[in-house]
Amino acid sequence: MATVKNWQIGREMEYPFPESRPERQIAYVFDLNKCIGCQTCTMACKTTWTVGRGQEYMLWNNVETKPYGSYPMGWDVKILDKLGPQPWEGERYAGKTIFEAAPPGERVLGHMPAELDWSHANAGEDEAAGRLDKGGYETMPAHKLWFFYLPRICNHCTYPACLAACPRQAIYKRQEDGIVLVDQGRCRGYRECVKACPYEKVLFNPVLRISQKCIGCYPAVEQGVQPRCVTTCIGKIRLMGFLSKPGEARADSPMDFLIYEKKVALPLYPQLGLEGNVYYIPPVSVPREFLRQMFGPGVDQAIESYLKGKDDPELLGLLHLFGDTKEIIESFKSFPATGEAAGYDKKGREIVRVPVKEPDYLRPFYDAARQVYRHNIT
Amino acid sequence: MRARRFFFAALVMSLALSAAVVEAQQKSLTARFVTGAVPVDPAWPGWRSAQAAEITLGPQAITPPWNLSPSIKKLTVKAVHNGTWVAFLLKWKDSTKSSVMYTDTFRDAVALMVPLGKSAPIMMGAPKERVLILHWKADWQEDIDKTFQDVTQLYPNAWLDWYPFAPGEPPYDIRSWTNPEAKRYLTGWVLGNPRSQPDKRSSVEEQVAEGFSSLTTNERQSALGKGVYANGEWSVVIARPFAAGNHHDPEWGPGKSMTAAFAAWDGGAGEIGARKSFSDWISVKFNPVRR
């Protein structure tokens, strides 16, 4: 075991390999306030990558309804239950990561899903099971009931548990973009990775008898294009970019700005210790206790910054660049004078420019030219 | 530092276990000379007259993941040769036949390891001290005995209308997917991963290793095998030419002596990869050729 720095838990931790951060790290921000669970991302991924034999059950991208939905069944509660209650001390995680909690002779504390756990993605979610005559179960300031959609892909972790657990070293993290891949020629289907990944994002292909996972759409990323799940999102909740190493943040980098500077986007279950690189803007109407368990102690600050976004031209501008170009935005700029925001590629070429506020148009209720009344005049 | 102490403790424990294994087991095996073709069949009557060695297997506790409570603790091994080929018969008790891999199940397997030089560490060799590993797999045997375990065999009630560019029609047979557009989605097959090949020629994979994590499939595959499960027992034959004509030939042959080690996996107990039980080096003597 080596000692490595994990900024998401505010301390050093044990990991089987020494710290080796890639030259560039792929990262994503998903705004959970905007996800409507339409599954367009899921279908875009499915039709692009997992239409092969033995991949019938596979969803490299899935969207589940929280708090009760999960794919595979109970992936989150099962690993949290195995890990047991663990404390945070402010920004520092004082509990054990899944590497530190590994039993003797294991590299990772893992959980192996049963085959049936994969068999009914979203079954029963968003369906009323019965009538509640005693009123709402949860009491909240603004809503009686709450739920939200959680879209999930591989986190292309800085410290991948799948990579740590593979006894053959058939899993590698690319230096050029930090994407984590399973070498399909070298894999022997031992499934140590399937068991080790707490997010359960490595899946076994029973026909080819090897394990497979989200590849971060690397053929697109290599061409400067964002992954399919990002570009097809009709709710424009996703942005993919590159995250600088801790301490090397650039103010004009979309990922650095959202994650390091404004701290509005948070990792999923940072306490597990993998330093995942999919970051979520937490949903504002969900009980904080639930969100803190899921996204760590930064939840309150993230929601506060997000809600102040309407008065923050830079943040507001960047949030409007989500889903507006298929190209990877390397840097961005906000123009409060004109009410616009723009994104630029690697060479500094402007690739997208959007108005932060749509212009208002007011039309007369009665259209004299057509001799009709309008139902909608704005 | 804690990790290093932990590893040291693990190594001591493992060596102690290995020592116990050596005490308990038969330390030598003699391969009898036979005329004619070497049998690749556990039912060959000549096995009855071959000398049997009881091989004790111990837990794998050297490299993670460990297997402290292995399922298979004993193998019965016999060997014969005909001057050019050698065959080993390996038998062990296993209450469940595991020969199909679903997403959460594993297959039974057995392997023998031979140094490629004078000797090699028991830990799957070391750099410059390579070993030859002949690994029999129950799922490969199933592919050969029945048919390739495709979706149709694994999930008989499954139905899928369409796969991109796939020739044929539902329920499909991937052995006919020979066009590159359809094969694009069959990564392991295209990359030559032996596990993913629909047409298996042998149930034994011939491999070399020079330490943990280095196991590599030989380019030339010359080992043959056959496994039969009956009455709660596996009987597996692994056969190979002494000289397969490549640089991965051990220094074995008629009239010579060498060492071999054995390992076994109980798929029903979740054993795969490093989660195995294995023996120490066993002395193997090959009787001279008699004309």
DSSP chain B: -HHHHHHHHHHHHHHHHHHHHHHHS--EEEEEE-SSSPP--TT-GGGGGSPPEEEE-EEB-SSSSPBSS-S--EEEEEEEE-SSEEEEEEEEE-SS------TT----EEEEEEESSS---TTT-BTTB-EEEEEEEHHHHHHHHS----HHHH-TT---S--TT--S-TT--GGG--SHHHHTT-HHHHTT-GGG-SS-S-SEEEEEESSTT--EE-SS---EEEEEEETTEEEEEEEEES--SSTT--S--TT-EEEEEEEEE-GGGT--TTS-EE---EEEEEPPP--
Q: A225: distance to nearest CA of chain B, Å?
A: 21
Asked if the C-beta of B255 comes within 8 angstroms of chain A's C-beta atoms, the answer is no
The pLDDT score that the predictor gives to residue A288 is: 93
The pLDDT score that the predictor gives to residue A133 is: 74
Of A55-59, A128-132, B152-156, B210-214, the range with the lowest mean pLDDT is A128-132
A and B: number of Cβ contacts within 8 A: 117
Q: What single-letter DSSP state applies at residue A240?
A: E
- A104 and B192: CB-CB below 8 Å? no
The pLDDT score that the predictor gives to residue A216 is: 98
- A14 and B3: CB-CB below 8 Å? yes
Asked if the C-beta of B12 comes within 8 angstroms of chain A's C-beta atoms, the answer is no
Mean pLDDT of A138-153: 79
- Name the residue in chain A with its Cα closest to that of B188: A184
Asked if the C-beta of B123 comes within 8 angstroms of chain A's C-beta atoms, the answer is no
- A56 and B177: CB-CB below 8 Å? no
- B195 and A210: CB-CB below 8 Å? yes
Residues of A in contact with B196 (CB under 8 A): 207-210
Pick A210's closest partner by Cβ from B106, B139, B196: B196
**Residue among B207, B8, B15 nearest B121 (CA):** B15
Q: A167: distance to nearest CA of chain B, Å?
A: 6
Q: B212: distance to nearest CA of chain A, Å?
A: 8
Q: B50: distance to nearest CA of chain A, Å?
A: 35
DSSP SS3 for A300: helix
Of A98-112, A207-221, A355-369, B3-17, the range with the lowest mean pLDDT is B3-17
The pLDDT score that the predictor gives to residue B19 is: 40
The rounded distance, in Å, linking the Cα atoms of B202 and B227 is: 11
The pLDDT score that the predictor gives to residue A376 is: 87
Strands A278-281, A25-31: pairing kind: parallel
Reported residue count of chain B is 291
The rounded distance, in Å, linking the Cα atoms of A57 and A71 is: 11
Residues of A in contact with B106 (CB under 8 A): 191
B60 close to B113: Cβ distance less than 8 angstroms: no
Interface pTM, i.e. ipTM:
0.91
**Main-chain phi, psi angles of A117, to 5 degrees:** -60, -25
* Statement: residue A249 has pLDDT above 60: yes
The pLDDT score that the predictor gives to residue B12 is: 44
- B188 and A210: CB-CB below 8 Å? yes
Tens of each residue's pLDDT in chain B, 291 residues = 344 444 444 444 444 444 444 444 457 999 999 999 999 999 999 999 999 999 999 999 999 999 999 999 999 999 999 999 999 999 999 999 999 999 999 999 999 999 999 999 999 999 999 999 999 999 999 999 999 999 999 999 998 888 999 999 999 999 999 999 999 999 999 999 999 999 999 999 999 999 999 999 999 999 999 999 999 999 999 999 999 987 789 999 999 999 999 999 999 999 999 999 999 999 999 999 997
Mean pLDDT of A156-168: 98
Pick B151's closest partner by Cβ from A1, A14, A207: A207
Asked if the C-beta of A152 comes within 8 angstroms of chain B's C-beta atoms, the answer is no
Asked if the C-beta of A115 comes within 8 angstroms of chain B's C-beta atoms, the answer is yes
Residues of A in contact with B61 (CB under 8 A): 105
* Statement: residue A314 has pLDDT above 90: yes
Say which residue, A345 or A127, is predicted with more confidence. A345
Asked if the C-beta of A187 comes within 8 angstroms of chain B's C-beta atoms, the answer is yes
pTM over 0.90: yes
B172 close to A166: Cβ distance less than 8 angstroms: no
Mean pLDDT of A372-378: 90
* Statement: residue A4 has pLDDT above 90: yes
The pLDDT score that the predictor gives to residue A138 is: 60
The pLDDT score that the predictor gives to residue A143 is: 61
The pLDDT score that the predictor gives to residue A97 is: 98
The pLDDT score that the predictor gives to residue A137 is: 62
* Statement: residue A241 has pLDDT above 60: yes
Residues of B in contact with A191 (CB under 8 A): 106, 272
